[in-house]
């Protein structure tokens, strides 16, 4: 699993934009830890625990 360093994540965004991370992992501890880190940096986070959920959520987010 690749976890980017926070320095690799862009932090300056136009004020009207919010970055959303979709975290997909079957280990809830990993998902929760990543969510805490990302939310502290101001990102919106969505968690899923399986591939089917990942595809469904990703398709829904692309339509918005």
- pLDDT averaged over consecutive 10-residue blocks of the chain (64 residues)? 54 61 93 94 92 87 68
Place of tokens 């398709």: 59
Supply the pLDDT for residue 14.
Answer: 47
Domain boundaries, the chain: 16-63
Q: Please, what is the Cα angle at 61 between 9 and 33, to 5 degrees?
A: 45
59 neighbors 29 (Cβ within 8 angstroms): no
Supply the pLDDT for residue 5.
Answer: 58
Question: In this structure, which topology does domain 16-63 adopt according to CATH?
Answer: Rossmann fold (3.40.50)
Question: What is the C-alpha separation between 51 and 54, in angstroms, rounded?
Answer: 5
Question: What is the C-alpha separation between 54 and 59, in angstroms, rounded?
Answer: 9
Q: How is residue 27 written in tokens?
A: 């280990």
Stated pTM of the model:
0.65
């Amino acid at each position: 699993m690749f976890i980017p360093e926070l320095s690799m994540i862009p932090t300056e965004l136009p004020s009207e934009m919010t970055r959303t991370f979709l975290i997909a992992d079957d280990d809830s501890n990993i998902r929760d830890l990543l969510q805490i880190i990302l939310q502290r940096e101001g990102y919106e986070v969505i968690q899923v625990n399986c591939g089917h959920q990942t595809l469904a959520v990703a398709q829904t987010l692309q339509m918005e």
